[in-house]
Homo-oligomer: A and B are copies of this chain.
Amino acid sequence: MQNNYAKIISGIYTDILSKENLGKVPDYIPEIAKISADKFGVAFLDLDKNSFVEGDYKEKFSIQSISKVFSLTLVYKHLGEKLWERVDVEPSGNAFNSLVQLEADNGIPRNPFINAGALVVCDILLDIFENPKQEILNFIRNITGEINISYNKKVAASEMENGFRNAAMCNFMKSFGNIKNNPNEVLDLYFNLCSIEMSCENLSKSFLFLANGGKNPINNEEILSSSKTKRINAIMLTCGFYDESGEFSFLVGLPGKSGVGGGIVAVLPNHYCITVWSPKLNLKGNSYRGMKFLEEFTTQTGESIF
């Protein structure tokens, strides 16, 4: 099937723009609450270097949980399959069970994309790297070629200040021995990663290696082995959208990752990467317009992994 991606993307963009923008910008992170609710950007990038963009695709926003893919990539690359002794790869069921599941599973988080799992990944980053914050930035700056990508210290600080639920989780896992470092250091790294700011364009560039069997599409250097790359895609599919992962797989049919900053990145292996950003979230915490856009996109292109 030969799709006219440019036309499909611009058609869906116009259509969604014309409809009511439902959902709600989360108010618990003041810096994010300030963002205009009507920002809307799209950036498509494929392995043949085709790029189709719309709207606010160049504006940086808080990537929040999307950063969990970068930290997982670095840790998985260094630790290999030993990583899975400390975090599982199973979807997690609904959120209200998170602490009781940790208890039942002896402090082993269900997967690296729920907060508990991402905290364990941060704990490992602290063991692997002297300066993990710099390491993550270097990785993202290299792969995007954009050296201005950085942390938003204000966002990180404001999340740290109100992050009592994550602090509870981190201490709880520490009581099981699955956090090695000081919980406050782990939390500091975690909230800093969440505060990274990138544009749709940056994100599509930085995820494209996941569509390329683990190789940097620019210079063909291996970032991750082909097998590890597939596995990260698999985890994104089953666990990338909180308690809406099944729904995203069902409606969109692509591996992806969302963040409460309103961004969603999705990957069609061997083909392309597409990022949508719109700050209003649906009840499950995923971008309302982002979900709509991607559902319509795979419907019109007829392309998904299934």
Contacts and interface: CB of A to CB of B under 8 A. Distances in A.
A168 B187 CA distance: 13
A172 interface: yes
Contact of A246 (B94, B167, B235): B235
Contacts of A93: 90-94, 97, 101, 110
Residue among A174, A238, A302, A306 with most chain B CB within 10 A: A306
A293 B251 CA distance: 30
A239 B234 contact: no
A89 interface: yes
Interface residues of A, number: 55
Interface in A238-295: 238-239, 243-247, 249-251, 253, 255, 269
Contacts of A233: 306
Given A97-B101, A103-B96, A238 B91 contact: yes
Contacts of A235: 246, 249-250
A304 interface: yes
A43 interface: no
Contact of A91 (B231, B246, B302): B246
A250 B100 contact: no
Contacts of A171: 164-165, 167-168, 171
Contacts of A304: 230
A14 interface: no
A99 B97 contact: no
A251 B81 CA distance: 11
A28 to B, nearest CB: 10
Contacts of A299: 227
B99 A104 contact: no
Contacts of A306: 229-231, 233-234, 237, 255, 269, 305
19 contacts: A90-B243, A90-B244, A91-B92, A91-B238, A93-B94, A93-B97, A93-B101, A94-B104, A96-B104, A167-B168, A167-B171, A168-B171, A230-B253, A230-B306, A231-B250, A235-B246, A238-B238, A238-B249, A255-B306
Q: Would you list the 7 A-B pairs with minimal beta carbon distance, nearest first?
A: A93-B93, A91-B91, A164-B175, A90-B246, A168-B172, A168-B171, A167-B171
Given A99-B103, A100-B100, A235-B249, 17 more contacts: A88-B246, A90-B91, A90-B93, A90-B94, A90-B247, A91-B91, A91-B238, A91-B246, A92-B93, A165-B175, A167-B167, A168-B169, A168-B170, A230-B304, A231-B251, A234-B306, A305-B306
Interface of A: 88-94, 96-97, 99-101, 103-105, 110-111, 164-165, 167-172, 174-175, 183, 226-227, 229-231, 233-235, 237-239, 243-247, 249-251, 253, 255, 269, 299, 302, 304-306
